[in-house]
Structure 1
Amino acid sequence: MLVPLRQCTVFMLLLLLVAGSAFAAEPRPFDARYRLEVSGWPNATIEHRLSHAGAEWQSVMRTAITLARGHESSRFTIGEAVHSLHYSSGYRLLGIGKDYELNRESLTRLPDRQAALFELSRRAVADDCTTPCRLRYVDHRGREERIDYQRLGQHTLELPAGRFESIRVEVTEPDSPERRLVFSFHPDVPGLLLAMEYYRDGKRLSQLRLSELSLAAAELASTSTGK
């Protein structure tokens, strides 16, 4: 889930870690679980499910710790670009929170941030952005946001879920270059995040690692030893 980094509280970081190409891999449904470590907070588990019914896809993320919980859900279609159809989210911190929803009319120009994360993973594989490229999306309130990203190359990851080849992408905001996210995506499963690291002023403040993976289709044709 993409988030304006300058507005990122610790809790939002727990929840919101998280134009396509015809040459990107075909999407595949999956269920993934992650372990998130944030400096000064207890570790958390994040669940991410990508599923589809007909031409529509749905991406859902959920997490919860003792004091906080939240979820985001997005429905979208996939063509040359990702087109959002509906978005909803809800957050609770110390019993106080709020729910958000965006309908099709609010998402005609730009994708929501769940769909934008899926789109970023496709661009990471299909594009060769070694200099910053830009992705625009709308946040949970429907406000336009922008991120810059560049591909850092391929890297082999040893994770609790297995051994994976990954495509690494660095993400920053135009006005906050001191804060950056480094995403590691699976090259053959669009939308599947393998790992994430969050840095501020050169110091790593949190990291996310894939702990479990279940694919609805055939097993990964890669070096993965995960299930």
Structure 2
Amino acid sequence: MPALLRRCAALALLLLLVAGSALAAEPRPFDARYRLEVTGWPSTTVKHRLSRDGTHWQSDMRAAISVARGHERSRFIAGDATRSLHYASGYSLLGIGKEYELDREALARLPDRQTALFELSRRAVADDCASPCRLRYLDHRGREERVDYRRLDRRMLELPAGRFEAVRVEVTEPDEPDRRMVFSFHPGVPGLLLAMEYHRDGAQRSRLALTDLTLAAAGLASSPKGN
């Protein structure tokens, strides 16, 4: 299951740390659902919720494909700088699984990958790094990972959930040049992934598309069609 999640951005595998830009939009709670298609696996639904708990934010992602299941949960502070406070995840295959947890001390140097995905979306909008940019984060076991990213052109996406303008970012691994992921983020809702594509050896291996969205913040329509 961890290998599968590594290919599926909605389960938040890649990405970054450090300070968010002052130009970044303020976080807003949301509930999102996606359709995930992975070569060789049945398609499935991925759920992502971003919610506020006092001064903290919590990101929660869950998915199940056939006999495999996975979830990740991250608690973080999202001010001028984004800082991870706690991370927990669990994966199972054929009923056999394992749980992982990273505490504040373990996350003092680098963010977990849920927090990193949120921060990447803010940086993508701010465009405050000369391409390509190096990203560092901790995986579910607390091991440091590195990826490079570069911002692509903005594009209008026609998705099952509606029509959206998207900020697009290409992510690659320094040691795996044949692998790349293209993330499409909402420009006004930090952390909200609209779509994702994963390519390896010149072929698309998986894709993710937003199918349903509820925005809890006042002033944003609960139905995103036409955004």
Q: Give the aligned length.
A: 220
1:51-92 residue CA offsets vs partner (Å, 9 max, x unmatched): 012210000000112211110000000122210000000000
Measured after TM superposition, the shift of residue 226 of structure 1 is 6.8
Please name the residue that 1:9 is paired with.
Answer: 3
Measured after TM superposition, the shift of residue 129 of structure 1 is 4.5
1:189-221 residue CA offsets vs partner (Å, 9 max, x unmatched): 000000000001221111000000001013547
TM-score, L = length of structure 1: 0.91
Distance 1:204 1:122, change over 3 A: same
Query: How many angstroms apart in 2 are the aligned matches of 1:80 and 1:135?
Result: 18
Spell out the pairing of 1:1-227 with structure 2 (5 A cutoff). 9-10=3-4, 12-14=6-8, 16-18=11-13, 19=18, 20-129=20-129, 131-218=131-218, 220=220, 224-225=224-225
TM-score, L = length of structure 2: 0.91
Query: How many angstroms apart in 2 are the aligned matches of 1:11 and 1:48?
Result: 14
Query: How many angstroms apart in 1 are the aligned matches of 2:151 and 2:4?
Result: 26
Query: How many angstroms apart in 2 are the aligned matches of 1:109 and 1:189?
Result: 26
Contact 1:35/1:43 (<8 A) preserved: yes
Percent of aligned pairs sharing the same letter: 69
Contact 2:156/2:163 (<8 A) preserved: yes
Measured after TM superposition, the shift of residue 96 of structure 1 is 1.2
Query: How many angstroms apart in 2 are the aligned matches of 1:164 and 1:16?
Result: 21
Contact 1:11/1:68 (<8 A) preserved: no
Which stretch of the first structure deviates more once superposed, 137-146 or 189-198? 137-146
Amino acid at match of 1:93: L
Contact 2:194/2:210 (<8 A) preserved: yes
- SS of the aligned residue for 1:106 comes to coil
Query: How many angstroms apart in 2 are the aligned matches of 1:166 and 1:12?
Result: 22
Query: How many angstroms apart in 1 are the aligned matches of 2:77 and 2:37?
Result: 32
Query: How many angstroms apart in 2 are the aligned matches of 1:62 and 1:21?
Result: 28
1:115-137 residue CA offsets vs partner (Å, 9 max, x unmatched): 00001000100015462101111
RMSD between aligned residues:
2.0
Query: How many angstroms apart in 2 are the aligned matches of 1:26 and 1:170?
Result: 23
Structure 2 stretches of 5 or more lacking a match?
none
1:119-177 residue CA offsets vs partner (Å, 9 max, x unmatched): 10001000154621011111111111111000002000000000000000000111111
Query: How many angstroms apart in 1 are the aligned matches of 2:5 and 2:58?
Result: 23
Contact 1:38/1:207 (<8 A) preserved: yes
Contact 1:129/1:149 (<8 A) preserved: no
1:105-124 residue CA offsets vs partner (Å, 9 max, x unmatched): 10001100000000100010
Measured after TM superposition, the shift of residue 224 of structure 1 is 4.0
Which stretch of the first structure deviates more once superposed, 17-26 or 117-126? 17-26
Query: How many angstroms apart in 2 are the aligned matches of 1:213 and 1:101?
Result: 28
Query: How many angstroms apart in 1 are the aligned matches of 2:203 and 2:2?
Result: 16
